[in-house]
C-alpha cells in the first residue's frame, strides 16, 4: 500500500515537474537557494513542484481603475461602506492601532486606511497563492523575471525561517502577501511580530499586519503629527511653474504661497511641499502634498492610491470621533 502511494506521489511530482521541464533554471535556482541562503535545494524543488503555472499572472494588464481621474477613483474607494467597515475595523483593533502609532510614529488612521484600500480591512478573500504567481512570473515570463525571481527567493527564505509551507501564503496576482499586500522582500524587511506569538504572519494575524504597515511607513519617513496633504487655491500667473506632477516635496511651502498657491488652513511655511493638480469631480483640484503623502506613496507609487489612503484616513478619523462622542464601542 505504502509503495503504491509512493508511486502515485512520484507520478504527481513527475507530472508537475514536467510542466517546468523545459525550464532548466529551476535546478539552478534551487542550488542557488542552498548555496547563497542556506535553504536546502531539495526543499526548494519540492515547493516548486507544488506550484502551478498561472496564466493569470502572465496575462496581467494595467488595472484600468488606477489610471482613472482622481474624482472617479475617489468615488470607487471612499464609499460609505468602506468608511463604515473602517470604523468597525478601527473599533475592533484600536488597541493594536494605538500601540503601532506610539511605537512607530505613524497615524493609526493612515495604518487603518492602507489596510482598507489594500484588502478591505482583511475582508477581501485572497484566493491566489503567492508562490504560484511568483514562480510563473519568475520562470515563465519574458518580462521582469529578475524582479520576480528575487521575490520568489525571498518568499522561500521567509517560509524556511518561519517554518511555514510557502504554498499557504495567499496573495494577489503580482505575488503580494496577506492583509497588507507586502511583496516578500518587504515582508523580510518590514514584517513585525506584533502579537508576540513568535511568528510574523501577515496572512492570518491582523496585529502583525498593523505593526508591519506602521514599520513600513516609519522606514519611509512618515512623521507623526506632520501634515499629509491639503487642498489649495491658486491665483496669479507664476503658480503654474510649480505644477511639477511629482509627489516628492522639493520646495518650501512659503515659496508656493509667495507664488499664489494658498493652502486651505494654517501650515508651517517652512515645511517641504509640492503642488499637484488632480482632476476632481468638479473640475481641477489643486493639492499641496507634504512629506507624509510622499511616504504613503512609497507603498504604491500611484497618486490615486496615496490620495485614497489620505482621504480614507481623514474619513476614518471623523467617524471615530463621532463614535467616541456617541459612546459607540466595538461589539
Which CB, 153 or 205, lies closer to Ca ion?
A: 205
Measured CA angle at 234 (ends 229, 107), to 5 deg: 5
CB nearer to Ca ion: give 159 or 253.
Answer: 159
Work out the angle between the directed axes of helices 145-162 and 25-37 (0-180°, nearest 10).
50
Which of 25, 34, 88, 195 is in the footprint of Ca ion by CB under 5 A? Answer: 195
Least distance to Ca ion from the beta carbon of 199, Å?
5
Task: Pull the grid cell for residue 56.
Answer: 493569470
Assess 162 for contact with Ca ion (CB under 5 A). Answer: no
SS3 259: coil
Identify which of residues 44 and 177 has a Cβ nearer to Ca ion in the complex: 177
Residue 207 Cβ vs Ca ion, minimum distance, rounded to whole Å: 7
| Shortest distance (Å) from residue 167 CB to Ca ion | 20
Residue 21 binding Ca ion, by CB under 5 A: no
Distance of CA 17 to CAs 9, 10, 31, 53, 168, Å?
12, 10, 16, 11, 20
275 forms beta bridges with: 243, 288
Q: Considering beta carbons, is residue 151 or 208 the nearer one to Ca ion?
A: 208
Scanning 44-52, 69-77, 206-214, 318-326 for contacts with Ca ion by CB under 5 A, the matching segment is 206-214
Of 205, 218, 292, 297, the residue at the interface with Ca ion (CB under 5 A) is 205
- Kindly state whether residue 315 participates in binding Ca ion, applying the rule CB under 5 A: no
Annotation marks residue 118 as catalytic: yes
Rounded to a whole number of angstroms, the CA Rg of the chain reads 23
Look at the block and give the residue holding cell 492583509. Answer: 179
Name which position in 52, 162, 188, 193 contacts Ca ion (CB under 5 A): 193
Shortest approach of Ca ion to residue 178 CB, angstroms? Answer: 12
Rounded to whole angstroms, the Cα distance separating 16 from 234 reads 61
What lies within 8 Å, CB to CB, of 82 at 6+ separation is 116, 120, 312
Name the active-site residue from 18, 21, 66, 118.
118
Among 208, 239, 286, 311, binds Ca ion (CB under 5 A): 208
Question: Using CA of residue 9, residue 15, residue 20, residue 25, what is the dihedral sign?
Answer: positive
Of 18, 66, 72, 197, the one binding Ca ion by CB under 5 A: 197
Torsion angle (degrees, nearest 10) of CA 113, 118, 124, 130: -150
* Shortest separation between residue 198's beta carbon and Ca ion, angstroms: 7
Q: Which residues contact 252 (CB under 8 A, 6 or more apart)?
A: 269, 270, 271, 272, 273
In terms of CB distance, is 198 or 225 closer to Ca ion?
Answer: 198
x-or-dash string of contact with Ca ion, 225-264, rule CB under 5 A: ----------------------------------------
Cell numbers standing for residue 312: 480614507
Report the nearest approach of Ca ion to the CB of residue 197 (Å): 4
Q: List residues near Ca ion by CB under 5 A.
A: 193, 195, 197, 199, 205, 208
Active site residues: 118
Amino acid at each position: 500500500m505504502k509503495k503504491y502511494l509512493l508511486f502515485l506521489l512520484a507520478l504527481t511530482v513527475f507530472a508537475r515537474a514536467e510542466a517546468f521541464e523545459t525550464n532548466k533554471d529551476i535546478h539552478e535556482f534551487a542550488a542557488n537557494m542552498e548555496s547563497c541562503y542556506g535553504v536546502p535545494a531539495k526543499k526548494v524543488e519540492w515547493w516548486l513542484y507544488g506550484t502551478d503555472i498561472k496564466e493569470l499572472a502572465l496575462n496581467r494588464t494595467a488595472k484600468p481603475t488606477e489610471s482613472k481621474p482622481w474624482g472617479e477613483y475617489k468615488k470607487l474607494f471612499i464609499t460609505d461602506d468602506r468608511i463604515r467597515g473602517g470604523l468597525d475595523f478601527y473599533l475592533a483593533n484600536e488597541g493594536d492601532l494605538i500601540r503601532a502609532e506610539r511605537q512607530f510614529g505613524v497615524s493609526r488612521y493612515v495604518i487603518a486606511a492602507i489596510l482598507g484600500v489594500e484588502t478591505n480591512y482583511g475582508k477581501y478573500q485572497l484566493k491566489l497563492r503567492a508562490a504560484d504567481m511568483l514562480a510563473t512570473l519568475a520562470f515563465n515570463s519574458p518580462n521582469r523575471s529578475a524582479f520576480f525571481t528575487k521575490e520568489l527567493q525571498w518568499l522561500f527564505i521567509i517560509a524556511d525561517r518561519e517554518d511555514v509551507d510557502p504554498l499557504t501564503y495567499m496573495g494577489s496576482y503580482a505575488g503580494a502577501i496577506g492583509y497588507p499586500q507586502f511583496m516578500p522582500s518587504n515582508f523580510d524587511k518590514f514584517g513585525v511580530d506584533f502579537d508576540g506569538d513568535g511568528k510574523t504572519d501577515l496572512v492570518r494575524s491582523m496585529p502583525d499586519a498593523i505593526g508591519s504597515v506602521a514599520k513600513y511607513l516609519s522606514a519611509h519617513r512618515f512623521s507623526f503629527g506632520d501634515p499629509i496633504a491639503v487642498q489649495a487655491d491658486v491665483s496669479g500667473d507664476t503658480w503654474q511653474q510649480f505644477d511639477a506632477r511629482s509627489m516628492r516635496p522639493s520646495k518650501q511651502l512659503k515659496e508656493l504661497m509667495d507664488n499664489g498657491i494658498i493652502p486651505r488652513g494654517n501650515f508651517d511655511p517652512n515645511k517641504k511641499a509640492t503642488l499637484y493638480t488632480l482632476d476632481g469631480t468638479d473640475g481641477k483640484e489643486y493639492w499641496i502634498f507634504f512629506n507624509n503623502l510622499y511616504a504613503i506613496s512609497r507603498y504604491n507609487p500611484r497618486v490615486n492610491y496615496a490620495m485614497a489612503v489620505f482621504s480614507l484616513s481623514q474619513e476614518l478619523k471623523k467617524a471615530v470621533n463621532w463614535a467616541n462622542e456617541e459612546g459607540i464601542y466595538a461589539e
